Structure 1
Amino acid sequence: MSDNGSEVFYLLEHRHTVDDKGRVCIPAEWRAPAGQETTFFLMLWDKTDQPPCLMGVPPSGMQELLRRLKELPFFDSNAESLQRLVARSTKVTADKVGRIRLPEQLAKAANLGKEVVLKGLLFRFQIWNPEFYDQVKAKDLDRRDESQKLV
């Protein structure tokens, strides 16, 4: 939710080039309204059933995630593992033309190169190596019937 009360939705997929300084342009419709800072938390998202990517989470989403993490059992091993995974995140702020710098360590872990795919997931987004994204996109099509049963 932006400060003016309008929620930003991360829609569609966008292919962009990463510049020599490791920056990528965020789609204009994913940015905060003029005069407000566009800030995200980027975290490495590497699940066992898919290649790694970076997950972009707006501050409101990160606050919700942190609230849910606080509710987990304090000494639970799975909770600790999840907290370590989430703690691999960093805050990034877009510059005046809407670029964010991809942290080198995270970009390398997600195998990001000169071209990336930014894929909207409504309330968050992912940044993919295009080859990895094509693999995941094919799996999504295979799962669509089962996935649609969730709603």
Structure 2
Amino acid sequence: MGRRFRGESHHKVDSKGRVSIPASFRRVLEASDPNWQPGDAPELVIVYGDHRRQYLECYTMEAIEEVDAKIAALPRGSKGRKILERIFNGQSLPTTVDETGRLVLPAKLRQKIDLDKEAFFIASGDTFQIWKPETYEEVEMAEAEKLMDELPDDFDPLEFLDGAGGA
């Protein structure tokens, strides 16, 4: 397992769709790109998915290769493989970080998530997500609060790790 993304931040999006990636996220992209060398632009894959997905999910090269390997292990022609290939191969965009640490988000992707002048970045382990800030607040935060409200007040989230395996 490679380095993990951590944290969240807001960044301005210019009229050409350029948005700075948090510096700590860039370090993870570099460390998780087997072809990256100092001075090179790290590669990543942005998965935008279908109409139900309201955010862009950015995969490191290591993370997307892991997903690709799992998809390839599914029976050719199976429903699961077809769906996953459509999402991760068809509804995705391979890209790089530019020399100033920015992503250029094409108009199609900005329009898909209704992104205008500001983007919200949030870490999700070996991926990170880009949201329209208002959508994140309305959708994702509401869902997280709903899930937490179902738990007792003294619940320790680390209990989810019990029995998860590992060291």
- Taking structure 2 as the reference length, the TM-score comes to 0.76
> In the alignment, what sits opposite 1:28?
23
What's the RMSD between the two structures over aligned residues? Answer: 2.4
AA matched with 1:37: A
Partner Cα separation in structure 1 for residue 61 and residue 112 of structure 2: 23
AA matched with 1:71: A
Shift of 1:45: 4.3
> In the alignment, what sits opposite 1:8?
3
Partner Cα separation in structure 2 for residue 127 and residue 64 of structure 1: 21
Shift of 1:11: 1.1
Residue identity over aligned pairs, in percent, reads 28
> In the alignment, what sits opposite 1:124?
127
- Taking structure 1 as the reference length, the TM-score comes to 0.83
Partner Cα separation in structure 2 for residue 46 and residue 55 of structure 1: 12
- In the superposition, relative to structure 1, how do residues 45 and 53 fare at CA in structure 2: closer, same or farther (>3 Å)? farther
Q: Give 1:1-151 correspondences, 5 Å limit.
A: 7-31=2-26, 32=30, 35-45=39-49, 52-87=54-89, 88-135=91-138, 136-144=140-148, 145=151, 148=157, 150-151=160-161
CA contact 2:74–2:80 (8 Å) conserved in 1? no
Moved over 2 A (4+): 32-38, 45-48
Partner Cα separation in structure 2 for residue 45 and residue 12 of structure 1: 23
Deviations 1:116-140 (A, max 9, x none): 1011112110000111111202211
Aligned-partner SS, 1:40: strand
Alignment: residue pair count: 144
Partner Cα separation in structure 2 for residue 9 and residue 36 of structure 1: 20
Aligned-partner SS, 2:100: coil
Aligned-partner SS, 1:61: helix
Rg (Cα) greater in structure: 2
AA matched with 2:5: Y
Give unpaired runs (5+ residues) of structure 2. Answer: 32-37, 162-167
